[in-house]
Amino acid sequence: MRNVTYIELSWHTLWKVCIFSAIIAVLYLSKDAIGVLFASVVISLGLDPIVSFLESKKVPRIIGTLILFITVFLAVAIGVYFIIPIIAVETSSFLEHFHEFMSSTFGFGFPDNIVDALTFSKDKIFSYFSLAGMSVAETISKFSITMAFVAATIIMTFYLSVEKDGTERLLKVVLPESYESPVLKVFGRFKTKIRRWMAAQASLSAVVGLLVWLGLWAIGVRYAFVIGMLAAVLEIVPVIGPVMVGVVAFLVAVSDSMMLGVYSVAFFFGVQQLENHILLPLIMGKGMKVHPVVVLMALLAGGKIAGFVGILLAVPIAVIIQEIFGYIAEKKNERTRPN
């Protein structure tokens, strides 16, 4: 006769499982809103030192925040106005020459319809939509949704920046009292690291972009300015960004000569060594280190959930994951430590 084991589940346990499942479902369905909130928190943490500095100089916090936002918007607008035309011209020229190089060297290039689509003209705007398999209405709808999320991020960032310790106040409002202390402790550590990371990342992007631009120009690689701008932007994306820029630079260089391609690879290797052994320790210091496995996990998870925006937020996600596990490990050590 077989022994039968029965597992008894109380209604209380079932209710807990149902509530937990419902919370997970709501969080998944609200992932876009959570992404906007997380991005707003990260940006506001990066802006807070500047706003606090202005406040210390007797500038009201709301005025300081407005000045900072207007300055950033003007800088972006001026950059777009002057830089985008240069990038458009150099990118079109690059695509044309790269297509010719691939065709003459390897016997194939970009498909003609793609080359034609990438040739900018007013008459071809509507053909881009059909090439992507989208109607104009669908494109406008997706663009409107994207702009709504961007606007929501800007507005939320503004309100979090205007109020001193705005994120902490928000957490105190929404968290149960029993969770308030540990969450605020983890957030405090996260805040310190993210502020350092954002300041360091801005410096690294500027330095690396300038180095790549001047270095490629010095060795005679075409489109050095565009590649330098690309290096500055993709410096935000860990691991993948520098590799992508290096590949683009090699392809552009090798289209002129194989030796120039070798020079470009050697140059990027030197830039990476300079960044890893001098710039990163000098700018970020030892306290900002995040385990590479955690960063890769965050890259995969962020890219899967939120696409390119998720990839951009990979380092903040990695930092919060590392701080949560660090806090859990500390609590475990405290419990096991003899009195």
Per-residue pLDDT tens for 277-289?
787 777 665 555 6
Q: Report the pLDDT value the prediction gives residue 137, as an integer from 0 to 100.
A: 66
State how far the Cα of 258 lies from the Cα of 281, in Å rounded to an integer: 34
State the pLDDT confidence band at 267, using cuts at 50, 70 and 90: very high
Cβ atoms 87, 229 nearer than 8 A: yes
Which DSSP letter does residue 110 get?
A: S
State how far the Cα of 28 lies from the Cα of 22, in Å rounded to an integer: 10
- Taking all residues of the chain, what is their mean pLDDT, rounded to a whole number? 76
Q: Report the pLDDT value the prediction gives residue 18, as an integer from 0 to 100.
A: 77
State how far the Cα of 47 lies from the Cα of 138, in Å rounded to an integer: 35
Nearest to 227 by CA among 252, 254, 202, 203: 252
The more confident residue out of 263 and 200 is: 263
Look at residue 99 and tell me whether its pLDDT is greater than 70.
no
The more confident residue out of 128 and 13 is: 13
Contacts of the segment 262-265: beta carbons below 8 A, 24+ positions apart:
263/219, 264/216, 264/219, 264/221
CB atoms within 10 A of CB 158: 19
**CA-to-CA dists, residue 281 to 189, 275, 290, angstroms:** 20, 9, 13
pLDDT in tens, 14-71: 776 777 677 777 766 777 777 788 888 888 888 888 888 888 888 898 898 999 999 9
Percent of residues in the chain assigned helix, strand, coil, to nearest 5 = 85, 0, 15
Listed range (127-141, 210-224, 302-316) with the worst mean pLDDT: 127-141
Please give the model's pTM, rounded to 2 decimal places: 0.66
**Side chain identity, residue 131:** L
Q: What are phi and psi of 183, to 5 degrees?
A: -65, -45
Per-domain boundaries in the chain: 35-174, 195-285, 290-339
Q: Report the pLDDT value the prediction gives residue 121, as an integer from 0 to 100.
A: 46
Cβ atoms 253, 264 nearer than 8 A: yes
Q: Report the pLDDT value the prediction gives residue 125, as an integer from 0 to 100.
A: 46
Considering only CA atoms, give the Rg of the chain. 25
